[in-house]
Amino acid sequence: MRFSIIKSLFLLLWAHMAISQQRPTECWVRRSVLDKRARIVTLALDKDLYAAYDGNNCGIYKIWKGGIDYKGTIWNTVHGPQPVSKGVSYSEGILDEQIWFIQKNGKDVPTKVQFKGYSWENNKVTFRYELKPDSQTVFVVEETPEVLKKDGQSIGFERRFVVKNITAPFTVGVNLKYSNLLKKEDLITDGNFKVLAETKNYGEALNTMTYFGRLYLKNNTTTTITANYSTKVIQ
């Protein structure tokens, strides 16, 4: 009996350690100023992929490899400097403008968006946003980001959305920008993503694509979109 209890505790401890090892640091979610931008939440999803969210517009600030140089009073007691990202970007988001929208019967309606924080469960983080088409109606969007390790040649960044408390004729959507993709097929979704513009970027060793479009989220269920980045883009 005693051996069984010890064995069970050992298995629980081992499982906890296995989950913890999925992240490069113990404190892998942090809220701070980053690159002189306020209200940023940074996720150390993997040693090869960091993601930063902007609480001002409830969207991506940037996705990159390289981590953060934590400077400033609360980090190293040095007054003046603030945290800055380091390394090479996979992609940057749409900055300093509203990206979320609500449609009623297929037409955009005025939308107010508010960042409502985040929570942890099973070593994952989930963001919560509130969208209001009017003073009487509130739609809740929850987003869970994750890294998808591939075969060493690519790495995926997955965003999983759930829209709650919504019924027809309303639809919620978000404007997205993805850079440094080798081809359109590297962007995968089970939702409706309409590409509005695409740009070819010419590099010294590699040409990449940037896609801008609208992702329409399914009502009261999950919508997933994943960008598969080649590790060649950050070499």
| Distance from C-alpha of 91 to C-alpha of 178, rounded to nearest angstrom | 6
Q: Is pLDDT of 29 > 90?
A: yes
Give, in order, the Cα–Cα distances in Å from 231 to each of 42, 151, 189, 234, 235.
Answer: 21, 10, 21, 6, 7
The average pLDDT across 224-234 equals: 90
* Domain residue extents for the chain: 25-92, 100-234
| Distance from C-alpha of 50 to C-alpha of 71, rounded to nearest angstrom | 18
Handedness of CA 186, 192, 160, 59 (dihedral sign): positive
Task: List pLDDT tens digits, range 200-224.
Answer: 998 877 899 999 999 999 999 999 9
Query: What are 153's two structure tokens?
Result: 């040649």
Beta carbons of 143 and 127 less than 8 angstroms apart: yes
Beta carbons of 117 and 55 less than 8 angstroms apart: no
Beta carbons of 102 and 137 less than 8 angstroms apart: no
| Distance from C-alpha of 57 to C-alpha of 95, rounded to nearest angstrom | 8
| Distance from C-alpha of 140 to C-alpha of 162, rounded to nearest angstrom | 8
* pLDDT of res. 46: 95
CA 130: distance to chain centroid?
17
* pLDDT of res. 14: 34
189: left (phi over 0), alpha (psi -120 to 50) or beta: beta
| Distance from C-alpha of 138 to C-alpha of 2, rounded to nearest angstrom | 53
| Distance from C-alpha of 159 to C-alpha of 4, rounded to nearest angstrom | 40
Task: List pLDDT tens digits, range 69-118.
Answer: 887 655 555 555 689 999 999 999 999 999 999 999 999 999 999 999 99
Tell me the pLDDT band of 18, cut-offs 50, 70 and 90: very low
Q: Which one-letter amino acid corresponds to residue 230?
A: S
pTM value is 0.86
